[in-house]
Amino acid sequence: MTSTDHREPAGTTATRGGETASGVPAPRAAAGARVPEAGPPVRRDRLAALDGLRFLAALAVVFFHFVGQAPSTMQTIWDRPVQDVFPVAHGYFAFGRLGVELFFLISGFVICMSAWGRTPRDFFISRVTRLYPMYWAAVAITACVIFFADNPFGHPSPRVLFANLTMLQTPLGVEHLDSVYWTLWPEMCFYLTFAVVVWKGLTYQRVVIYCGLWTVAAVLAPSADIRLLTLLVNPPSAPYFIAGMAFYLMYRYRPTPLLWGIVAMSWLVALHYLLTPDGGRLNWDSWSPWRGWLVLVITVFFLLIAAVALGWTRWIRWRGLTVAGTLTFPLYLLHDAIGVNLLHRFGDRADPWVVVGATVVALVALSYVVQRFVERPVARAARRWLSSAAFSLKTPEPRR
């Protein structure tokens, strides 16, 4: 789950018959328009619908951690069984954990969009400056809360802090400073592998081939018991990124049977990993909902992104959604450690819903402050510095 720049892409050259000479679906373009197939993206309005969906997904995860977690975890927070605190709402908000799947779907869409027409250097700078400034700020704030506050979950070793600053704690075999950081490794792997396609130059054919290869790898890696491949392709998460990219190709060009086939296969593989007790990321010992609800929720997620891809949400242009979208990454990174500590400290001093509501409002406000006054200026400075840096492996001139 990351901060992403998902502005509408540049248009592309229209051709007769709806396809290019190579059989690629004709890009969407205004009548008579003639613009290049790939180039620097045109800075237009963001897709407000995606921003709104990202923020709703973040709120779903937040309320899951505050209201819908496993009873044993929540009893540590509320000092009594969560079913006693939220007897009805707990079962509903437990589905908030699926907000991460919606994040991954959106990420596949927007990363493909924002990378189109960019050089590998541009793609690298974009990802680094959108990930690390906010992440480091969140790690610093979370570390202060964990090490200096009355944290109900103990105090990890400082070694954990240093490993987490790299964002490579998963392959390093180190626990996450905050449990929500687990989603960053699937995102990182997506960026690393997708960078190969960006290096070659993004085209319709190359993205489709990438989707196909990733699907095959995600299916074969667990059966082949290749730990390195499994770590890299992230089988339970892969179908959502892949479907997101296919949806973006529909948005940029037009829907085709091939793209719908990629989406359908991704949907089926996603449900397989979601419903497999030992193959996905859900703990069936602590949460065993009716399987039909899981299928329904994931299907709704796919349908929502399909609506964006088909252009049905272009009328949504409320600027408030764009602002909300910029708060998604900081809210996701900051909410767990800070929110859990606030609930643990004040949960028995007022009505639980009042405490949860006030905590969420405070976290949204904190996210805005951190994003506006920390992440944005640091990212801007880092972007300028990296843009002027030399990335060549050529030996630099010696000092004189």
How far is it, in rounded angstroms, from Cα 216 to Cα 117? 26
- Packing angle, helices 291-309 and 99-115, rounded to 10: 20
* Cα–Cα distances in angstroms (integers) from residue 353 to residues 67, 346, 359, in the given order: 9, 12, 10
Print pLDDT tens along the chain (400 aa). Answer: 766 666 554 444 334 345 554 567 877 654 333 333 444 343 344 799 999 999 999 999 999 999 988 766 665 677 777 888 898 999 999 999 999 999 999 999 999 999 999 999 999 999 999 999 999 999 999 999 988 877 766 778 889 999 999 999 999 999 999 999 999 999 999 999 999 999 999 999 999 999 999 999 999 998 888 888 999 999 999 999 999 999 999 999 999 999 999 999 999 999 999 998 766 677 777 777 888 999 999 999 999 999 999 999 999 999 999 999 999 999 999 999 999 889 988 888 889 999 999 999 999 999 999 999 999 999 999 999 999 877 777 777 787 7
Backbone CA torsion sign across 327, 333, 338, 341: positive
**pTM beyond 0.85:** yes
- The phi and psi torsions of 351 (rounded to 5 degrees) equal -60, 130
Specify whether the CB–CB gap between 376 and 327 falls below 8 A: no
Q: Which residues of 172-197 are buried (b: 16+ CB within 10 A; e: fewer)?
A: eebbbbbebbbbbbbbbbbbebbeeb
How far is it, in rounded angstroms, from Cα 69 to Cα 71? 6
How far is it, in rounded angstroms, from Cα 309 to Cα 259? 11
DSSP 46: B
How far is it, in rounded angstroms, from Cα 394 to Cα 381? 25
How far is it, in rounded angstroms, from Cα 339 to Cα 331? 10
